[in-house]
Structure 1
Amino acid sequence: MKRISRFLALSTLFLFGAPVVAGAELVTIYGPIYVAKTNADAKSGTKEASFVFTAPVPGNGKVIVRNGGDSGRKSRVSSATIDLNGAGVADRSDFNNTVESLDYDVVLLPENNMAVRVNACNACELEITVLGEKPAPPPITRWVR
């Protein structure tokens, strides 16, 4: 009987006393945005776009890039760069016609500046979505009369 009591006590300790590491839930905070290079842009060689967005909770985030966007394989980018707050996120060599999607872990600031440069393609597009930590719900306040 003592063994069973000890076993139950230790089991309870490990079950409820073990530290729980919970990651923050990531939600879409910006996008999807589309950067498209048309045949008219092909003459200039590159297509550049800049975006400014805020993060409700500064900290860890993720940039998700769909190469070809909604148009699919025929509109994929073969060379592009993406910078966030002056730091390189995606490099030219990350892209080619066989790459469908890319995920990058990033650090988000309260206000973020993203620069996208599409280099090599005639008619192509990128779909970019930024995920950030879900803000905490507002505290519940009690009404006092």
Structure 2
Amino acid sequence: MYKHKKISFVFGDSYTAVHGEKGNDKTWSLFESSDSVTNNPIIRDGYYEKTKGLTTSGGANWNEYLTSCYEGRPQDCPAHLFNLAYNGATVDQLLVASWEPSIADFVTQTKQWQNNIKPQVQYTRALTAIWFG
């Protein structure tokens, strides 16, 4: 189990999402391996290979600025950033379906946090942020 004092958990859609090595062009992690939480660096390339980030300006996302976590493993950043947001996510698939079935809605994102991150991370202070545009 990993311990850290400053930590952020963020949920949402493309206004929040970042890429990771164990994710895809929609999210930081798909949680398909046992080390997807503790050994999954945020990456600056991927789907938008010609830009430095996923924003329309090619820069960092708002939660990367908030935590000073722009790339690398979240636990190596000044403030942890565990980003569960998915590009194209909705709040609840039962209310508004995503354009692609593999996209995790907010309900699924919170279940992913509970099943994959919560058991592996201890913290004394946390910020939780949710943003859907």
Q: Same fold (TM over 0.5)?
A: no
- The structure with the largest strand share of the pair is 1
- The structure with the largest helix share of the pair is 1
TM-score by length of 1: 0.24
Structure showing greater radius of gyration is 1
TM-score by length of 2: 0.25
